[in-house]
């Protein structure tokens, strides 16, 4: 049977799997809106019905329990239906970044051994299915499905008995792998972080509880569904709280302002870039944003003045009652979180304290108390897909995940990130690993050597700058990167140099590039 866990003496057991959470949400919230996207509204009970239909379609298309399904599409209600149907049919969801090139997407499809691929063909005027087929023979894929043709898939699924799909959902356990989210590493090769159902549901519930999210909330999801911030603390938190979600496919400032006003949006998590854009919007004063009550940010250093302005009443600020920061990563989605009532200085300069079920400690702190952040607990991934060596390097024998981030903990346990051991920067809320970008650029004729660093950018937080040795022009470098990499990974500028600065061991001295560039 689908698993639940005790919630305390006399309490109803809490769902431990995504199918159980969906069923519970449908039973509890029934006709309450689960999603609103333009003219389309789907209730929680309606969502369950749609998910069951698509899940039967997956089985008709050959999906077996434990099979993986890659989903390559932007935020939409159909994304949610397609994703939840994967686990309802007993499969494992593998979301793909909607901005990936065909090469990047095909690499993950192949490495995950996906049985099915669901694609929003035509998004951003591209031909994603053709890009996939051009990049790989896709040997493990039985079928590529177009997200726009879910109705056809549902018709195919009518050949599958309703009892059979309910049995699939019943058979899912809390320890089964719910999803594999790929994250890059310092080697430049994306790694798939595997997470169990109990972890995905548990972290979503914890985030919602700390934020006080309820069925009365209207939650604008700007974070991409393929990202843990959009998927786990977006979609799954919606199931555990009954909040109504409003998916945003691409961020449009004017549309976002209009949505907040017309739909009385109350919850709006996102990267600092989102709030900065709202605050500086030319027409902000023309919109009533007083419904906003909760903002959760992270993924970058947050200026104290930004927190103050987010909390300040209109017209100077956004008037958001509860503004908190959090720290997490694909390998452990929510580790720390500030709490309601924390002052602006604490919220801006720390990532808050460990959430229930998680522990933090600083390894080998120096005289200032700084050292590598180690985390342990319920929400640390099971490991990396097909990569025991990388798993062992990341999670030690005592269960501590070595994050690669350098930080300090104060007396109350508030985490302050001060540096990164891993060579990574954050562009618009997305992690960019220079090693991956460098490996791509080294395939360009005329690039003999290259180093990429993050440099400050007022809007995006950080953007990439490439230092190139060789005959390739800056224009050629950027054009090549745009063809091979998602847009947030593409360097915004290129500097031609005669040689890269290196130490005696041959390591590029990137601090010299940052300070000199």
Domain boundary (420, 435, 453) is at 420
407 in Cβ contact with 415 (< 8 Å): yes
- By three-state DSSP, how is residue 490 classified? coil
- The reported pLDDT for the residue numbered 251 is 87
Question: How many domains is the chain built from?
Answer: 3
Q: What angle do CA 142, 148, 152 make, to 5 degrees?
A: 65
At 47, the pLDDT band (50, 70, 90 cuts) reads very high
* 54 and 182 fall within a common domain: yes
Residue with more model confidence, 2 or 335: 335
Q: Please say whether the dihedral angle defined by the alpha carbons of residues 231, 199, 328 and 241, taken in this order, is positive or negative.
A: positive
Of 259, 263, 277, the closest CA to residue 318 belongs to 277
pLDDT of residue 30: 98
Looking at the fold, whether 108 and 181 belong to one and the same domain comes out as yes
Residue 184 has pLDDT above 70, yes or no: no
Please say which residue of 162, 195, 228 terminates a domain.
Answer: 195
Residue 207 lies in a domain: no
| 321 and 296 Cβ atoms separated by less than 8 Å | no
- The answer as to whether 103 is a domain residue is yes
**357 in a structural domain:** yes
Q: Do 458 and 350 share a structural domain?
A: no
User: Is 343 part of a structural domain of the chain?
Assistant: yes
Q: Could you tell me if 413 and 443 lie in one domain?
A: no
Residue 65 domain boundaries? 41-195
Task: Tell me: pLDDT of 328 over 60.
Answer: yes
Same domain? For 332 and 391 the reply is yes
In this structure, the answer to whether residues 387 and 453 fall within a common structural domain is no
Q: Which of 163, 195, 227 is the last residue of a domain?
A: 195
Assess whether pLDDT exceeds 60 at residue 11: no
Does pLDDT of 171 surpass 80? yes
Q: Are residues 318 and 445 in the same domain?
A: no
CATH number at residue 141: 3.40.50.980
426 contacts 434 by C-beta, under 8 angstroms: no
Distance CA 410, CA 353 (A): 10
How much is the average pLDDT of 432-455? 89
Average pLDDT over residues 359-375: 92
CB atoms within 10 A of CB 424: 19
Q: Are residues 401 and 319 in the same domain?
A: yes
Q: Global pTM? A: 0.86
Instruction: Tell whether the model's pLDDT for residue 18 goes beyond 60.
Output: yes
In percent, the amount of the chain with pLDDT more than 90 equals 74
Residue 300 lies in a domain: yes
Residue 284 belongs to a domain: no
Residues 438, 410 share a domain: no
Q: How does pLDDT run across 230-273, given as a tens digit for each residue?
A: 999 999 999 999 999 999 988 899 999 999 999 999 999 988 87
Residues 178 and 65 in one domain: yes
Same domain assignment for residues 361 and 334 = yes
What integer pLDDT is reported at residue 506 of this predicted model? 64
Q: 144 and 89, same structural domain? A: yes
Residue 186 has pLDDT above 50, yes or no: no
Q: Which residue has the higher pLDDT, 300 or 69?
A: 69
Tell me how many degrees the CA angle 184-74-50 measures, rounded to the nearest 5: 120
Query: What CATH number does the domain containing 444 carry?
Result: 3.30.300.30
Answer yes or no: is 82 within a domain. yes
Query: 109 lies in a domain?
Result: yes
CATH of the domain at 346: 2.30.38.10
């Amino acid at each position: 049977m689908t698993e639940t866990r005790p919630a305390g003496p006399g309490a109803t057991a809490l769902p431990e799997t995504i199918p159980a959470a969906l069923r519970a949400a449908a039973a509890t919230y029934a006709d309450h809106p689960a999603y609103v996207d333009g003219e389309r509204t789907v209730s929680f009970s309606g969502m369950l019905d749609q998910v069951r239909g698509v899940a039967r379609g997956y089985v008709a298309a050959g999906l077996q329990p434990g099979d993986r399904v890659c989903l390559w599409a932007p935020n939409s209600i159909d994304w949610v239906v397609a994703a939840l149907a994967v686990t309802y049919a007993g499969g494992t969801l593998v979301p793909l970044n909607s901005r990936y090139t065909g090469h990047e997407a095909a690499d993950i499809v192949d490495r995950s051994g996906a049985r099915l691929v669901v694609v929003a063909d035509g998004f951003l005027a591209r031909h994603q299915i053709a890009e996939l087929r051009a990049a790989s023979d896709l040997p493990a894929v039985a079928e590529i499905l177009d997200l726009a043709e879910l109705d056809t898939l549902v018709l195919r699924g009518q050949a599958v008995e309703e009892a059979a799909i309910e049995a699939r959902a019943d058979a899912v356990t809390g320890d089964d792998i719910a999803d594999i989210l790929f994250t890059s590493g310092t080697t430049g090769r994306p790694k798939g972080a595997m997470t169990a159902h109990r972890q995905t549901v548990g972290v979503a519930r914890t985030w919602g509880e700390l934020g006080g999210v309820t069925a009365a909330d209207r939650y604008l999801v700007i974070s991409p569904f393929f990202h843990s911030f959009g998927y786990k603390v977006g979609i799954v938190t919606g199931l555990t709280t009954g909040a109504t979600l409003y998916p945003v496919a691409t961020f449009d400032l004017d549309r976002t302002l209009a949505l907040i006003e017309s739909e009385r949006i109350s919850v709006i998590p996102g990267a600092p870039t989102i709030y900065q854009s709202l605050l500086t919007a030319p027409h902000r004063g023309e919109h009533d944003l007083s419904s906003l009550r909760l903002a959760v940010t992270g993924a970058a250093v947050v200026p104290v003045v930004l927190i103050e302005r987010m909390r300040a009443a209109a017209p100077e600020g956004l008037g958001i009652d509860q503004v908190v920061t959090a720290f997490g990563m694909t390998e452990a989605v929510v580790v720390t979180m500030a709490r309601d009532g924390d002052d602006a200085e604490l919220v801006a300069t720390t990532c808050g304290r460990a959430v229930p079920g998680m522990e933090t400690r600083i390894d080998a702190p120096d005289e200032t108390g700084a050292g590598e952040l180690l985390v342990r607990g319920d929400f640390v991934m099971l490991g990396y897909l097909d990569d025991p060596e990388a798993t062992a390097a990341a999670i030690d024998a005592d269960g501590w995940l070595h994050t690669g981030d350098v930080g300090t903990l104060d007396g109350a346990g508030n985490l302050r990130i001060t540096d990164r051991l891993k060579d990574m920067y954050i562009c618009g809320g997305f992690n960019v690993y220079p090693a991956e970008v460098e490996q791509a650029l080294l395939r360009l004729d005329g690039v003999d050597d290259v180093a990429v660093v993050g440099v400050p950018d007022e809007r995006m937080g950080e953007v990439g700058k490439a230092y190139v040795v060789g005959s390739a022009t800056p224009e050629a470098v950027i054009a090549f990167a745009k063809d091979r990499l998602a847009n947030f990974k593409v360097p915004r500028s290129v500097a031609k140099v005669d040689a890269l600065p290196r130490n005696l061991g041959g390591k590029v001295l990137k601090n010299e590039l940052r300070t000199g560039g």
